[in-house]
């Protein structure tokens, strides 16, 4: 046999062969973006466009979870145009700009909010932070676990749109909540974000939808049905509607007061809706239970 023929015969020995279908790993769970996960359940709140109430939802959902007894770390993931501190009425002295410049550690900039929620504030008007490189983003995600080692949730409010920063945060999450309103531009942009996330891969599960600023339950259900139908038909993707938040004048009133609506107007329709969302994610745990009857965090979560 010639040397040339020997080479042809030996080649298959070193060829990379994919595993059998039954043994193939789930690509969505093997993406490098998920290597940085903390033990806390990470929820990313995103939207296809601005003005749909995404930041209000992230802030008030964090407080509603804290009110129920969960330990929550809230990260302002809109790194260059931050506003969660304003919505919560907090006044941080330092922010992520100081951390990324090496002047402060993450736990040194944390601000305590209502119901024990810990806010990791970002900067405002610092455009260079809008596009973190992969290394610094990885460091940030890994450091979140050090803010509160016992945290049950890490909630990340991202910048609106489909920037790389936003999609990378989504791919590092256990759950992604996409916020939309019944208006067609918001609906269309929310679908575009879901489509992009599916195309890029790496998600732990299909995004969940929250319909915000709905004028009645019928409008909310119709919006949720339409986006689920379009995703099923064109993306072969089954979306879940996590819930709805009605249009409520209490929200802009709370924003003007620089206080979350959950605390400013606790009985308002929006506050009740945020609590309903929290109830789907976190089962009630009595305050200060004896240590021997504390339920493990994994048993208190509803996926």
**Which pLDDT score is estimated for 38?**
60
Cα 245 from Cα 229, distance rounded (Å): 20
What digits encode the pLDDT tens for the residues 231-269? 999 999 999 999 999 999 999 999 999 999 999 999 999
From start to end of the chain, where are the E strands?
41-47, 72-77, 111-112, 118-120, 153-158, 175-180, 208-214, 240-246
**Residue 147 included in any domain:** yes
pLDDT digits (tens, 9 = 90+) for 39-65: 789 999 999 999 999 999 999 999 999
Give residue-wise pLDDT tens across range 148-161: 888 999 999 999 99
- Separation CA 268–CA 139 (nearest Å): 39
| pLDDT grade for 285, boundaries at 50, 70 and 90 | low
Residue 36 counted as domain residue: no
pLDDT of residue 220: 95
- Would strands 111-112 and 41-47 be described as parallel, antiparallel, or unpaired? unpaired
User: Given this model, what pLDDT does residue 37 score?
Assistant: 54
CB-count exposure of residue 7 (10 Å: 0-12, 13-18, 19+): exposed
Q: CB under 8 Å to 110, separation ≥6 — which residues? A: 118, 119, 120, 147
pLDDT at 138: 83
Q: Which residues contact 264 (CB under 8 A, 6 or more apart)?
A: 250, 253, 254, 257
Considering only 13-27, 138-152, 201-215, 223-237, which range has the smallest mean pLDDT? 13-27
| pLDDT tens digits, 171-180 | 999 999 999 9
Contact 158, 46 (CB under 8 A): yes
- Domain around 127: 53-162
What pLDDT sits at residue 298?
Answer: 34
Domain membership of residue 170 (yes or no) is no
Give residue 284's pLDDT. 58
How many domains does the chain contain in total?
A: 1
As a whole number of angstroms, the distance between CA 54 and CA 49 comes to 9
Nearest to 79 by CA among 143, 156, 138: 156
Give CA 269 to chain center in angstroms: 23
pLDDT for the residue 93: 94
- In a domain? residue 103: yes
d(CA 63, CA 153): 11
Classify residue 86: in a domain, yes or no. Answer: yes
Q: Which is higher by pLDDT, 192 or 298?
A: 192
- What pLDDT score was predicted for residue 129? 74
- Give domain status of residue 62, yes or no: yes
The whole-number pLDDT of residue 26 equals 40
What CATH code is carried by the domain that includes residue 91? 3.40.50.300
Stretch 270-279: mean pLDDT = 98
Beta pairing, strands 118-120 & 240-246: unpaired
DSSP 48-106: SSSSSSHHHHHHHHHHHHHHTT--EEEEEE-SSB--HHHHTT---S--HHHHHTTSS-H
Question: Does residue 69 belong to any structural domain of this protein?
Answer: yes
State which of 92-101, 125-134, 157-166 shows the largest mean pLDDT. 157-166
- pTM given for the model: 0.81
Domain membership of residue 15 (yes or no) is no
**Residue 178, beta-bridge partner list:** 46, 209
């Amino acid at each position: 046999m010639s040397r040339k023929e020997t080479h042809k015969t030996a080649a298959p020995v070193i060829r990379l062969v994919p595993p059998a279908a039954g043994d193939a790993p789930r690509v969505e769970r093997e993406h490098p973006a998920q290597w940085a996960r903390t033990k806390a359940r990470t929820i990313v709140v995103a939207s296809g466009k601005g003005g749909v109430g995404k930041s209000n939802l992230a802030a008030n959902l964090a407080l509603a979870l804290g009110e129920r007894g969960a330990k929550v770390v809230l990260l302002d993931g809109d790194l260059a145009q931050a506003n969660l501190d304003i919505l919560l009425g907090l006044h941080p002295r330092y922010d992520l700009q100081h951390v990324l410049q090496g002047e402060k550690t993450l736990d040194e900039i944390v601000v305590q909010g209502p119901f024990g929620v810990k806010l990791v504030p970002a900067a405002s008007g610092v455009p260079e932070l809008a596009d973190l490189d992969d290394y610094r983003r990885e460091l940030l995600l890994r450091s979140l676990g050090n803010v509160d080692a016992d945290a049950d949730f890490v909630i990340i409010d991202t910048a609106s749109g489909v920037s790389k920063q936003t999609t990378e945060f989504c791919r590092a999450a256990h759950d992604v909540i996409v916020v939309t309103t019944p208006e067609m531009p918001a609906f269309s942009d929310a679908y575009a974000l879901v489509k992009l996330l599916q195309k890029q891969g790496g998600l732990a599960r299909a995004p969940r939808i929250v319909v915000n600023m709905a004028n009645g339950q019928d409008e909310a259900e119709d919006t949720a049905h339409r986006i689920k139908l379009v995703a099923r038909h064109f993306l072969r993707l089954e979306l879940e509607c996590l819930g709805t938040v009605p249009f409520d004048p209490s929200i802009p009133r709370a924003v003007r007061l620089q206080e979350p609506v959950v605390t400013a107007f606790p009985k308002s329709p929006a506050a009740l809706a945020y609590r309903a969302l929290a109830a789907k994610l976190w089962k009630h745990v009595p305050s200060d239970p004896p240590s021997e009857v504390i339920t493990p965090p994994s048993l208190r979560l509803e996926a």
